[in-house]
Amino acid sequence: VTHAGVNGFRLSGEGKDIKVSKDGWLYLEKPLDWSQVDHYILSVEALADNVVVDGPVIVTINVLDVNNNAPQFNQSRYTATVREKTSSGVAFTRVFASDRDDPETANARLSYSLVSQIPNNHNILMFQIHPDTGEISTTREGERMLKARAGIQYSRGEDRSIDALKTKFEEFCPVQKIPYEENPFFTCVERAELRRRNVDPLEDPDYTLIVRAQDMGGASEMSLSGNTRVHIVVQQNLWVNPGPITIKENLKGEYPQVIAK
């Protein structure tokens, strides 16, 4: 209810894109974006021939979020290493994505999943991902089957240069009449050895995972998603925990005695 003779309104405060008409209707000049401003506080005054006759009245406009921002990973590519025989379910790396929508709604509730594993021989997944945390671990099959690619083994203190590798090549193979770099077997061995020495092995990973993050918990056809890659190199695990060792007290014989290896 306003005074008689009111023929206009004046709007002040936040929101340059919010206007008021002469008959008191608030309207938008363009869409609002929750991720930029989630509410506006305005002051409205009633005018009669440009003279304030009522107000000001405080109006709060709350902006409701809609799902219009896809999840984004903090890296376009992740790199990780995992050792052979790593127990299934034990995380060895993690991916992370964020969503600019309202965190109090399902619009920003993310769910992680594996889209593909390359290679995927015999359709056996070696890895799994926690849908809520993004932690990546081996499956039971991965714990049992993951193997590091072998390279030429060196003795302690031996030269590890490419020239030494060529010498080793001659020790194992007949003399070749073609250059080393054109010999496919040597090229393969050289490549494997460079990987074994961790010379940028992640440029030639054992596995590549395509990971997806979906908002709305991944439970809606309206959910948005983003993808990333995880490059994984399998490393040798030279240490195997023997587990608890049981020894009888007062063992007879000469000491020191071997109790485990």
Task: Identify the pLDDT of residue 23.
Answer: 87
Low-confidence ranges of the chain (pLDDT < 50): none
Task: Identify the pLDDT of residue 193.
Answer: 62
174, 76, 94: which is closest to 134 by C-alpha? 94
Superfamily of domain 8-62: Cadherins (2.60.40.60)
Task: Identify the pLDDT of residue 259.
Answer: 77
Task: Identify the pLDDT of residue 198.
Answer: 56
19, 11, 5, 12: which is closest to 53 by C-alpha? 5
CATH 2.60.40.60 maps onto the chain at 8-62, 72-235
CATH T-level fold of 72-235? Immunoglobulin-like (2.60.40)
DSSP string computed for the chain: ---TT--EEEEEES-TTEEE-TTS-EEESS---TTT-SEEEEEEEEEETTEEEEEEEEEEEEPPP-S----EES-SEEEEEEETTPPTT---EE--EE--S-TTSGGG--EEEEEEEES-GGG---EEE-TTT-EEEE-HHHHHH--PPP-----TT---SHHHHHHHHHHHSPPPSS-GGG-HHHHHHHHHHHHHTTSSGGGS-SEEEEEEEESGGG-STT--EEEEEEEEEEE-------------SS--S-SS-----
What's the pLDDT tens digit per position in 82-96?
999 999 999 999 999
On whether the CB atoms of residues 44 and 55 are closer than 8 A, the answer is yes
